[in-house]
């Protein structure tokens, strides 16, 4: 008889967002027609910018013309897009080569697939509260997970320590769910720690475009020595509204090696075996994001979400509720009022204010007592949600 991957039995019963969707569905069945103010799941609400739409249309037209038609694409990405992304790094003073950039279908796929490069005996550090996929992907692979709880005391930005020793180190900055961002000194400390211990950092930069403080790093490769110990995984999902269009990129330096094995070359081998490249049309749409016009347009969209963040932060300030994030990230991480636990606060907001947020407990045990508000909603919904929070005073 075939043996299934029994590690799936170790996964928690339901994925956080699935559980939220179930509760929300049940509420709507009991209260049909009610409008909900969705500040929960981190999907965007603004459409793709004009530069991307024009490029997507142009690429569709190319597929109708024999001379411009594209079939299978290069597995590691279209050379012009790899060049454009590498230039984007180089413009910010990070010297990477075009070949170090791999085009992907998004960060989620990569965060799971990249684990193919590491032996199953490798342990994985997850700094919690964390994006749930880090834990689940490693449970599925049967890896040992080292949980490092962060807290309000360290601003949800813990420093490396003895208990944080592991082979793979997940670092997400700006962080989902806390919105906290490691400064240069703090991030350098993690790079130094990884190098000392021979670990590899998996740096999740999905929210780098939201960093507005010039002193804060966008990329792990801004840190000295990071090319010998880090892989960066990035996405156009939140940067440019590609959540449904699907495009991302991963940077694996050629200098990154362990035991004489070069992860860059291994990934080329992996991609050429396991993928047939990202669609030509989508890559053309993504390329437009890196043009000056594309950059101007996506920055306007990000500014819009930051406007939502300000509305929510002002309400929390007035209520005297502690929170972090919001400024350099699209998430606000707030303390639940009156000592409520996070699922109780979820139910309270849903039933009394028709607001849907995300309970902190879903991001790890140390997220209990906290709650995540997303700023990706519409302006109208955000204004009403803030007003309802204020009225609850």
The reply on whether position 389 binds ligand PLP by CB under 6 A is no
The reply on whether position 204 binds ligand PLP by CB under 6 A is yes
Q: Which is nearer to ligand PLP, 109 or 228 (CB)?
A: 109
Stretch that binds ligand PLP, among 1-9, 106-114, 294-302, 335-343 (CB under 6 A): 106-114
- Whole-number minimum distance, CB 204 to ligand PLP, in Å? 5
Q: How many CA atoms lie within 13 A of 135 on its CB side?
A: 19
Which listed residue (102, 118, 131, 190) binds ligand PLP by CB under 6 A? Answer: 131
- Whole-number minimum distance, CB 103 to ligand PLP, in Å? 12
Q: Do 219 and 250 touch, CB atoms closer than 8 A?
A: no
Q: What SS3 class is residue 199?
A: coil
The reply on whether position 21 binds ligand PLP by CB under 6 A is no
Stretch that binds ligand PLP, among 20-28, 103-111, 274-282, 320-328 (CB under 6 A): 103-111
- Whole-number minimum distance, CB 249 to ligand PLP, in Å? 10
Whole-number Cα distances in Å, 347 to 35, 287, 388? 16, 42, 15
Number of neighbours of residue 68 by Cβ within 10 angstroms: 12
Token digits of residue 76: 């590691």
CA–CA separation, 132 and 40 (whole Å): 14
Q: Which is nearer to ligand PLP, 178 or 342 (CB)?
A: 178
The reply on whether position 107 binds ligand PLP by CB under 6 A is yes
Stretch that binds ligand PLP, among 105-113, 120-128, 147-155, 335-343 (CB under 6 A): 105-113
33-92: contacts with ligand PLP (CB under 6 A): 42
Stretch that binds ligand PLP, among 30-38, 104-112, 153-161, 334-342 (CB under 6 A): 104-112
CA–CA separation, 184 and 216 (whole Å): 6
Residues touching ligand PLP, count (CB under 6 A): 13
The closest alpha carbon to 36, from 392, 377, 391, 390, belongs to: 377
Rg (CA), the chain: 21
Instruction: Name the strands in the sheet holding 124-128, side by side, starting at the edge strand that comes first in the sequence.
Output: 101-104, 248-251, 230-235, 200-204, 168-172, 124-128, 145-149
The reply on whether position 108 binds ligand PLP by CB under 6 A is yes
163-182: contacts with ligand PLP (CB under 6 A): 172, 176
Stretch that binds ligand PLP, among 71-79, 101-109, 144-152, 256-264 (CB under 6 A): 101-109
Q: Which is nearer to ligand PLP, 204 or 381 (CB)?
A: 204
Give the phi and the psi of residue 201 in degrees, each rounded to 5: -85, 130
Q: Which is nearer to ligand PLP, 248 or 353 (CB)?
A: 248
Token digits of residue 96: 């990477």
**Burial letters for 175-210: b for 16+ Cβ neighbours within 10 Å, e otherwise?**
bbbbbbbbeeebbbebbbbbbeeebbbbbbbbbbbb
207-266: contacts with ligand PLP (CB under 6 A): 235, 237, 243, 248
Name the site residues for ligand PLP (rule: CB under 6 A). Answer: 42, 106-108, 131, 172, 176, 204, 206, 235, 237, 243, 248
């Amino acid at each position: 008889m075939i043996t299934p991957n029994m590690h799936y039995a170790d996964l928690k019963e339901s994925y956080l967002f699935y559980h939220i969707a179930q509760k929300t569905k049940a509420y709507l069945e009991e209260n049909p027609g009610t409008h909900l103010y969705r500040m929960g799941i981190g999907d965007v609400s603004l459409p793709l910018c004009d530069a991307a739409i024009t490029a997507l249309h142009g690429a569709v037209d190319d597929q109708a013309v024999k001379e411009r038609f594209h079939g299978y694409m290069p597995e590691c990405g279209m050379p012009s897009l790899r060049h454009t992304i590498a230039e984007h790094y180089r413009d910010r003073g990070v010297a990477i080569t075009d070949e170090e950039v791999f085009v992907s279908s998004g960060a989620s796929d990569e965060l799971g697939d990249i684990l193919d490069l590491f032996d199953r005996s490798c342990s994985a550090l997850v700094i919690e509260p964390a994006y749930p996929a880090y834990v689940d992907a490693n449970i599925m692979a049967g890896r040992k997970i080292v949980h490092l709880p962060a807290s309000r005391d360290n601003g949800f930005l813990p420093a490396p320590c003895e208990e944080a020793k592991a082979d793979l180190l997940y670092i997400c900055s700006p962080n989902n769910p806390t919105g906290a961002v490691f400064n240069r000194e703090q991030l350098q400390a993690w790079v130094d720690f990884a190098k000392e211990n021979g670990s590899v950092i998996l740096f999740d930069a999905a929210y780098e475009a939201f960093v507005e403080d010039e002193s804060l790093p966008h990329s792990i490769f801004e840190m000295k020595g990071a090319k010998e110990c880090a892989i960066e995984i990035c996405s156009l999902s939140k940067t440019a509204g590609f959540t449904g269009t699907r495009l991302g990129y991963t940077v694996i330096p050629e200098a990154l090696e362990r035991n004489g094995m070069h992860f860059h070359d291994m990934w080329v081998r992996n991609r050429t075996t396991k993928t047939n490249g990202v669609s030509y049309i989508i890559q053309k749409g993504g390329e437009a994001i890196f043009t000056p016009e594309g950059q101007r347009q996506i920055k306007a969209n990000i500014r819009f979400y930051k406007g939502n963040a300000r509305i929510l932060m002002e309400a929390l300030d007035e209520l005297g509720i502690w929170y972090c994030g919001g400024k350099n990230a699209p998430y606000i991480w707030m303390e639940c009022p009156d000592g409520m636990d996070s699922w109780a606060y979820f139910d309270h907001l849903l039933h009394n204010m028709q607001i849907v947020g995300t309970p902190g407990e879903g991001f790890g045990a140390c997220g209990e007592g906290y709650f995540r508000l997303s700023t990706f909603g519409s302006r109208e919904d955000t204004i009403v949600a803030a007003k309802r929070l204020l009225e609850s005073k």
